[in-house]
Amino acid sequence: MVDDEEKKRLIEEYQRDWNTAESQVNSTNSALRMWNRVLTVEERQSLGGDIKKLDRHYDNGGTARIYMQLRNCSYTRAVLELARDLELLSERTANEMLHIAGESEDGRSTSPKSRPVWDRERGQLLFGGQLVRRVSIKEPPTNIELILNSFDEEGWPGQIDDPLPAGPNRKRLEDTIRSLNRGLRFGGGPPTIRFHLQGSGTAISWKPLNSGWSSGPVR
């Protein structure tokens, strides 16, 4: 068990390793190496099936964000897994840094449909490697942003308590969930996840959809 002081020391110790790894991972050379050495055939197909088409994805955020969207993982895990797989960091160092970041060493992002990914910098919610919702980023954050931020910070559990300010308010939370779900129609295709009001209106949950979509009120 690493105590707070030890964790602080390790974070400081590995800060240079992180900065170097992030820079190297997001280089164009690493993007090509990722294509050839890391991505599955299915993942390459989702990017257009041709390495010449990789540039347009790279220009939208760099190598780590391509990996993050494909594997439905955090940006931190994307950088460290790529650094490890491309031999930019030793396995021991990468695993230690994953541990410090609160990511399990053996929880590799091999299941791209396991949980959503919220890219708060770009206002993009992804699921199964696909963009499912765009959100306008504002200051202060909107209620939708606050909900997605909270899910993301807690690692996307099945349910969280109402994170909105000034305490629980069933109508406010219900209206926010309805608006969030309505936007999940992004791109014209059927939604792949849906958010739900829980209990007496003090919590919110999410779950993947396996079939049709009901446009009725959230219950």
Is the preceding peptide bond at 140 cis, omega within 30 degrees of 0?
A: yes
- CA pair distance 47, 54, nearest whole angstrom: 7
Question: In the chain, what is the straight-line distance between the N-terminal and C-terminal CA atoms, in Å?
Answer: 42
Q: Which of 99, 81, 100 is nearest to 91 (CA)?
A: 81
pTM of the entire predicted model: 0.48
Q: Is residue 12 within 8 Å of residue 18, measured between CB atoms? A: no
Least confident of 6-15, 29-38, 80-89: 6-15
Pairing mode, strands 124-127 and 117-119: antiparallel
Q: Note the pLDDT tens digit of each residue in 41-94.
A: 888 888 888 888 777 777 666 888 888 888 877 788 888 889 988 989 888 888
As a whole number, mean pLDDT of residues 107-113 equals 44
Query: Over 50: is that where the pLDDT of 109 sits?
Result: no
Q: How far is CA 182 from CA 51, 128, 144, 178, in A?
A: 35, 19, 12, 6
Query: What is the reported pLDDT for 108?
Result: 47
In angstroms, how far is CA 129 from the centroid of its own chain? 9
pLDDT exceeds 90 at position 187: no
Does 52 or 143 have the greater pLDDT score? 143
Give the pLDDT score at 210: 52
Residue 156 pLDDT greater than 80, yes or no:
yes
